[in-house]
């Protein structure tokens, strides 16, 4: 824990806008590292003499590691503190970038991506804990709303900037420039985030234990292990099924649409912008869906609608290049991406007890990592060795999206 700050002495916490922006910077820096690959994948394949199957691991390794790191990340945050683990995550991202910069073989480059993926998973798991600890309970939503767009902002910046940086500075320039952004973000977190004392951090939110207090309370922890089966009830498993297919479709778009469009003659920068445009639109649609959910008192209809469009829109993004492509971009961004924030709030409603929120977050991040891994590894298999089976892959992805929608329909939300 950090020292006694003004928040601990005066009964207040840090400004939610300031915390949200600092956390946003940290998230964007690592998301940029994740998505620096798709728009230059063809060039990397040539540079490292990689076929399509091997090249797919540049994204798959990044996402697969999250399946194994999410739960340990929560335990490490409990032992060393969420802020310290976030700084460590940014340091790990720098190490991964250094390994990639020095890579002389495709295997070493893939290994560097796994290290970078571990950094993203730790940051994703610990970020909400930092926000809850540093911001007044009544203002957590503001900070989380800002923090929540880090993925879409980071992926968009990377998709637009990477081709230009690669063209002017080459492979080394991309890896060094993006690592520099991570270093700046780490400095911001160290200087600007002041964790409160244990008493302040353990205050409740609307009468419920915060994720921070659960993670650090040695009395609560054993009970979580004793009731772990509650995290895998029928409805939770159905929810996870829908959530995983949502992430499969999302990563299938982010990882492969740029390469598919470039093979059809689309400019690399434009192809990157098209693949990330739905994420850009989520800056508006995700908060809007949250407001609508609060107004009607239900999130299930909105989640079902969001999941229902993911598969068909992915199919169109894979197979079309004209007006239908842009229609898919708009629908996925304004409807599909509206469910990004709702998945978190919907999951919390499935938990029978608030003290399950902390381990539940670890499990949810693990499921997200599994879905994102399948969205890269499985999709590469569907596309074939030369990434040309776009119609077949699109049909399968549409079917998976509709299957996930059915699972959410069957899920009983409280």
Q: What is the pLDDT of residues 47-91, one digit of tens each?
A: 999 988 788 888 888 878 877 888 788 778 877 888 999 999 999
CA distances 146 to 171, 286, 320, 352, Å, are 31, 11, 33, 28
pLDDT for 139 beyond 90:
no
Where does the pLDDT of residue 176 fall: very low under 50, low under 70, confident under 90, or very high at 90 and above? very high
60, 72, 59, 38: which is closest to 365 by C-alpha? 72
> What confidence tens digit (pLDDT) does each residue in 312-362 have?
999 999 999 889 999 999 999 999 998 877 787 677 678 777 666 666 777
In the predicted model, what is the mean pLDDT of residues 201-230? Answer: 44
Residue 130 has pLDDT above 80, yes or no: yes
**Separation of alpha carbons 133 and 21, rounded Å:** 15
Per-residue pLDDT, 225 = 52
3 state DSSP class of 175: helix
Q: Please name which of 131, 116, 277 lies closest in space to residue 196, comparing C-alpha atoms.
A: 131
pTM, two decimal places = 0.70
pLDDT of residue 8: 40
- pLDDT tens digit sequence for 11-29: 447 788 888 889 989 999 9
Phi, psi of 205 (to 5 degrees): -115, 110
């Amino acid at each position: 824990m950090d020292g006694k700050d003004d928040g601990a002495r005066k009964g207040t916490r840090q400004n939610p806008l300031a915390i949200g922006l600092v956390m946003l910077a940290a998230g964007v820096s690592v998301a940029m590292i994740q998505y620096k690959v798709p728009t230059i994948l063809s060039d990397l394949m040539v540079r490292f003499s990689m076929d399509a199957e091997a090249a797919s691991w540049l994204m798959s390794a990044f996402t697969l590691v999250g399946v194994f790191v999410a739960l340990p990340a929560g335990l490490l945050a409990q032992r060393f503190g969420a802020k310290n683990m976030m700084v460590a995550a940014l340091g790990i991202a720098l190490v991964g970038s250094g390994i990639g910069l020095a890579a002389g073989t495709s295997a070493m480059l893939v290994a560097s991506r796994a290290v970078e993926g571990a950094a993203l998973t730790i940051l994703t798991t610990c970020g909400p804990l930092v926000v809850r600890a540093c911001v007044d309970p009544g203002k957590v939503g503001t900070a989380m709303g800002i923090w929540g767009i880090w993925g879409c902002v980071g992926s968009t910046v990377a998709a637009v900037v990477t081709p230009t940086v690669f063209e002017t500075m080459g492979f080394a320039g991309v890896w060094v420039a993006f690592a520099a952004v991570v270093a700046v973000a780490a400095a911001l977190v160290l200087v600007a985030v002041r964790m409160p004392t244990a008493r302040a951090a353990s205050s409740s939110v609307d009468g419920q234990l915060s994720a921070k207090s659960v993670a650090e309370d040695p009395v609560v922890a054993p009970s979580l292990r004793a009731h772990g089966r509650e995290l895998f009830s029928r409805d939770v498993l159905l929810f996870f099924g829908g959530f995983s297919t949502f992430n499969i479709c999302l990563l299938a778009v982010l990882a492969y649409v740029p390469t598919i469009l470039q093979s059809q003659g689309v400019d690399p920068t434009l192809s990157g912008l098209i693949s990330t445009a739905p994420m850009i639109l989520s800056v508006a649609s995700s908060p809007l869906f949250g407001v609508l959910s609060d107004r009607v008192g239900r999130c299930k209809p909105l989640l079902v609608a969001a999941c229902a469009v993911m598969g068909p829109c992915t199919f169109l993004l894979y197979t079309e290049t004209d007006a239908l492509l842009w229609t898919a971009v708009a629908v996925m961004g304004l409807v599909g991406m509206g469910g990004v924030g709702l998945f978190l709030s919907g999951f919390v409603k499935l938990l029978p007890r608030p003290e399950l929120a902390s381990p539940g977050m670890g499990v949810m991040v693990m499921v997200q990592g599994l879905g994102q891994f399948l969205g890269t590894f499985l999709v590469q298999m569907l596309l074939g060795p030369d990434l040309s089976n776009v119609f077949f892959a699109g049909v399968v992805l549409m079917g998976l999206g509709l299957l996930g929608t059915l699972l959410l329909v069957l899920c009983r939300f409280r």
